[in-house]
């Protein structure tokens, strides 16, 4: 907790940042009033997520190497780290230093369509190729594996007749925004209890 009783959170991004935006919006509308975003760290300098952060007055950094990510996290004073469309695998050192304090949003119903190679639109393509009738999103803690950490919550969406990967992605994204905020609130509460 910081001086004002809020939990300090850093968000790691690589792309458009709609999940980051959902967190920003929910802090502003009071649904995540207990959270303070202390830094947004991007693996890419041209990620639109950086513009969203700057517009909301949040500090930003670009860090391509894991030692730079760790340094940025340490200087930010973040207590919790959110991976919101972060397309890299974190180093074991970061995992160790932030054990049970890193959460990730994944666009499928883990254990299905997750792990190495399953990210972004590839996930939705595979779900359609697999003939699934439902998909969804998962918020989970991050451990040394890829998408293997303890699940915090999931929400399903239907796969509809004639779905394209893009249409399915958009439907899943809606529930991502909802459950990422809930998962973050849960992780922050757990941390304060500890």
CA atoms within 13 A on the CB side of 76: 26
SS3 at position 137: strand
Site string for ligand GAR, 109-148 (x = CB under 6 A): ----------xx--x-------------------------
CA-to-CA distance for 33 and 24, rounded, in angstroms? 10
How far apart, in Å, are the Cα atoms of 84 and each of 18, 105, 176?
8, 6, 10
- Mark the segment that binds ligand GAR (CB under 6 A) among 10-18, 28-36, 54-62, 72-80: 10-18
- Position 17 contacts ligand GAR (CB under 6 A): yes
Would you say 17 or 149 has its CB closer to ligand GAR?
17
Contact 32, 95 (CB under 8 A): no
CA-to-CA distance for 91 and 34, rounded, in angstroms? 28
Q: Let me know if 140 is a catalytic residue.
A: no
- Mark the segment that binds ligand GAR (CB under 6 A) among 25-33, 50-58, 60-68, 100-108: 100-108
Would you say 71 or 122 has its CB closer to ligand GAR?
122
The binder of ligand GAR chosen from 18, 66, 97, 100 (CB under 6 A)? 18
List the catalytic residues.
106
């Amino acid at each position: 907790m910081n001086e004002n009783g809020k939990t300090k959170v850093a968000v790691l991004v690589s792309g458009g940042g709609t999940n980051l935006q959902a967190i920003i919006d929910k802090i502003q509308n009071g649904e995540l009033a207990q959270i303070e975003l202390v830094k947004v760290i991007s693996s890419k300098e041209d990620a639109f997520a950086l513009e969203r952060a700057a517009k909301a007055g949040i500090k930003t950094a670009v860090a391509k190497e894991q030692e730079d990510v760790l340094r940025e996290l340490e200087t930010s004073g973040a207590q919790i780290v959110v991976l919101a469309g972060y397309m890299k695998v974190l180093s074991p050192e970061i995992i160790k230093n932030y054990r049970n304090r890193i959460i990730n949003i994944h666009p499928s119903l883990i254990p299905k369509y997750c792990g190495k190679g399953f990210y972004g639109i590839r996930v939705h393509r595979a779900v359609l190729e697999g003939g699934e009738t439902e998909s969804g999103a998962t918020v989970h803690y991050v451990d040394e594996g890829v998408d293997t950490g303890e699940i915090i919550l999931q929400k399903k969406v239907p796969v509809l007749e004639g779905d394209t990967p893009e249409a399915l992605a958009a439907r899943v994204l809606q529930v991502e925004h909802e459950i990422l905020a809930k998962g973050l609130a849960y992780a922050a509460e757990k941390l304060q209890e500890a």
